[in-house]
Amino acid sequence: MKKDKAVLGNDTTSQIPKEKFPDSDELLTRIRSEYDAALAYRQTRVASWNANEDLLYGKKPPTLTNRSNILIQLMAGFEDTLLAKINSPVIVNFSPVEEGDVMKAKKVTSFFEFERSPQREDWEQKDLLTKKLAMVSGRALFKIYTAHPYKHKLDPVDHYDFLIDPLTSGLSLETARYLGQDNIIKSKADLERNSSYDKKKVKELIDSYAEETSALPDNQNNEKQHRLNVQGFDIQSNYQAGDSTYKLLEWYTHVNGVRYYFLLDLEKKIIIKQRKLEELTPILSESNVPCYPFESWAYYPDLFNFWSPSPMDRVRELFILRNVALNQLFDNNEAINKPMRIYDPNTFKNPALLKYTPDALVPVSAGKDPQTGIHTLQTQAFGTGNAKEMAGILEDLAAKITGVTPAGMGMESSTEKVGIYYGNMQEVEKRMLQFEASYSRCHMRLAQKYLGFLSERLSKAAAVKILGAEGAVIVEQLTNEDLVKFDVEITGGLSAARQDAISKKLKMEFLTSLHGNPAANPMVVAELTARLAGLSEIEIKRLLAQQRKDEKQIVKAAEDLQKLMEGETVAPYPKADTTYLQEIVDFLLEHNLTEKEEQRVTAYFESLQEIVTRNMILKAHLQAAESGMLGEAMGPGTPGPVPGPDTGAPLPDSIGGANMQTAGTIPSVAQETYGQV
């Protein structure tokens, strides 16, 4: 039954006369006003961003002539250290709301992992680089959307390109009345090929630049150019290389209470696309309005200030002070090593000869004493102790403000206990509590928007196959019927990384203490140690295989199972033994397969029975022959009959270390679920 929007939430908007939609000039005037307000709001932070970039990229400040001007890369080291400490990405899982949707949730989670992988949108790399970018500004920004036909997209957004309502909350972008992304660069071909753009307006835009070059990818304050200029690159001289491009503004605002999207050239006052936002995004906020396609987190979130400070803001002055102190120390040493001197012009007629030159002869006026004709002005030294004390004070201040101590930077003494490392991790985690809360919630909202776009845009024709974690299990298709309502679970992060590291350390120490203990099962100890070391299941099986042949059997079984899951026809492996067969049994028991997949594996399992029986009999004969017991086993004179499938005689349980009667039986799980195959 279709809901009447007029009565949702006791709404009475149907009684209010519909307002006239503003014309193009009114819209452009409004957008310009909103843009200028957002730009002015952000401009208060830009000076700090520029100053952070100066230190990060090594721009030396102006100094007096003949003064030291050495810039130690303290900010770059701080960036590396902090990035290493917070490089613990969260893990996203979609969990079922209804009990019957467990398999659907697994499908969606697997598909999400596929789409965020390095081969697709590479969320992990983009997340890392966005953390780095946000160290300058304090804000990380993402845009999430889908292309047509369905293709998931996640774009990092430069803080120099993002503008937002000054009255927005630092908690959620959805509180903004307007926001946008500047410097959207489109080529002439991009504009002409896109069918969603107004063709007349596109032509008008292109023609408007016929007699001049297109605008630089920056605003009227030239804020964005600073990052390139500080690295020695002049964007104005090089921007026109390549195809002609056009700088556009993507703007989101409310018109008569409805959210709209506009794509325009603000300077030329040409709108090439405008749509209700609900036509572009299927995702609704709690207030039942379409969500913006942007998400953000902050290092130090502030409820009433979106552009909150950055980590580099908090250490910048300390690093400047430290560089000043070091340069003063260098100048002091230079003054000591090359002091000023006073000379008597009546004693030394040519003072230029007083400069040090090997084997030089300096003439002295007759009757004059050279000892009294020159005097050295001594400079008092800072003293080594004072320099160290100054550096120590600044280091301590930086540690107290940031929580990144010398030990946290990996500079602790080798004589310190390993346990200090975990204390350092805990200290960093406490310091980054605000960051972790903002960061994890941002990724939760990104996952919710991802699911919304997937549910709306994934057609049945675009259904995909999904590989399992080990590349062997395939859930054949993800369709619209699988895209029901799910909860989003966020795990991982700094807290989980610390707890996991401590847990692994304690377990590894305990397992190490069990080596040589007769009460401990060495195979179990070895298996648990391998798991803590991060080895996969197939690697553990290969590692613990008692013979090289067993390892080959395990690897071959994994390869054949993968082919079976991909729908390929696999011929029975002629060298299969009980190890190979046991891998098939384990696979059937440990994986939740579809009926079609289980029938395929079970049929292959049955085709191996005669081969495995023959190979194990041959193996038993070879082992008996090697031990010289073949004659005794088979009777004097003749070898006697060989047990096999025709005689019905079961093989001994000890052959090959496996029970052939068990291995040769279809797993009961398959029988109970689907009956005899």
pLDDT tens across 206-260, in order? 999 876 666 778 888 888 888 888 887 777 666 666 677 899 999 999 999 999 9
pLDDT at 360: 85
**pLDDT, mean of residues 416-443:** 65
Side chain identity, residue 240:
Q
Average pLDDT over residues 466-491: 66
Read off the pLDDT of residues 507-565 as tens digits, 9 standing for 90 and up: 677 777 777 777 777 777 777 777 777 676 666 766 765 544 566 788 788 888 888 88
Nearest by Cα to 560 from 546, 574, 539: 574
What integer pLDDT is reported at residue 383 of this predicted model? 57
Proportion of the chain above pLDDT 70, given as a percent:
73
Q: In which band, very low, low, confident or very high, does the pLDDT at 325 lie, cut at 50, 70 and 90?
A: confident
Q: Tell me the two tokens of residue 644.
A: 């096999």
Q: How confident is the model at residue 338 (pLDDT cuts 50, 70, 90)?
A: confident
Q: What is the pTM of this model?
A: 0.67
pLDDT level of residue 305 (50, 70, 90 thresholds): very high
Task: Name the range with the highest mean pLDDT among 353-362, 380-389, 402-411.
Answer: 353-362
Alpha-carbon distance of 417 to 118, in angstroms, equals 37
> What separation in angstroms does the CA of 601 have from each of 62, 471, 557, 561, 671?
74, 16, 11, 8, 13
Q: Above 90 in pLDDT, residue 290?
A: yes
Judged on CB neighbours under 10 Å (0-12, 13-18, 19+), 629 is exposed
For residues 124 and 392, the model is more confident at: 124
Residue 126: the pLDDT is 95
C-alpha span between 281 and 174 (Å, rounded): 14
Return the exposure string of 198-236: e unless at least 16 CB atoms fall within 10 Å of the residue's CB, then b: eeebbeebbebbeeeebbebbbeeebbbbbbbbeeeeee
* Predicted local distance difference test score (pLDDT) of residue 211: 66
Q: Which range (164-178, 260-274, 351-365) has the least confidence? A: 351-365
Structure tokens at 630: 């073949």
Question: What pLDDT score does 18 carry?
Answer: 61
How far is it, in rounded angstroms, from Cα 377 to Cα 34?
64
pLDDT at 359: 86
Report residue 458 CA to chain centroid gap.
Answer: 25
Higher pLDDT, 98 or 118: 118
More confident residue, 449 or 7: 449
Confidence of residue 472 (pLDDT cuts 50, 70, 90): very low
Q: What is the pLDDT of residue 502?
A: 56
Quick one: pLDDT at residue 512? 78
Output phi, psi for 146, to 5 deg: -130, 145
Residue with tokens 């004390």: 389
The yes-or-no verdict on residue 55 having pLDDT over 50 is yes
What angle do helix axes 537-544 and 548-565 make, rounded to 10 degrees? 150
Whether 394 contacts 329, CB under 8 Å:
no
Q: Strands, E, within 150-280: which ranges?
A: 151-156, 162-164, 178-187, 245-255, 258-265, 270-276
Higher pLDDT pick, 465 / 654: 465
Quick check: 624 pLDDT over 60? yes
Q: Please provide the average confidence, as pLDDT, over all residues in the chain.
A: 78
CB 78 within 8 A of CB 312: yes
Say yes or no to pLDDT of 617 above 50: yes
Mean pLDDT of 290-304: 95
The share of the chain scoring above pLDDT 90, in percent, equals: 29
For position 516, what pLDDT does the model report? 73
Q: How far apart are alpha carbons 532 and 503 in whole angstroms?
A: 10
Does residue 116 register a pLDDT over 80? yes
Give the count of beta carbons closer than 10 Å to the beta carbon of residue 158: 17
Is residue 41 scored above 70 in pLDDT? yes
DSSP single-letter state for residue 432: T
pLDDT band at 468 (very low <50, low <70, confident <90, very high): very low
Q: What is the CA radius of gyration of the chain?
A: 37
Mean pLDDT: which of 289-293, 422-426, 582-586 is highest? 289-293
Quick check: bond before 62 cis, omega within 30? no
pLDDT tier at 92, thresholds 50, 70, 90:
confident
pLDDT band at 394 (very low <50, low <70, confident <90, very high): low
- Which phi and psi angles does 373 have, rounded to 5°? -90, 0
Query: What is the rounded CA–CA span in Å between residue 87 and residue 496?
Result: 12
* pLDDT range class, residue 567, cuts 50, 70, 90: confident
Q: Identify the pLDDT of residue 30.
A: 95
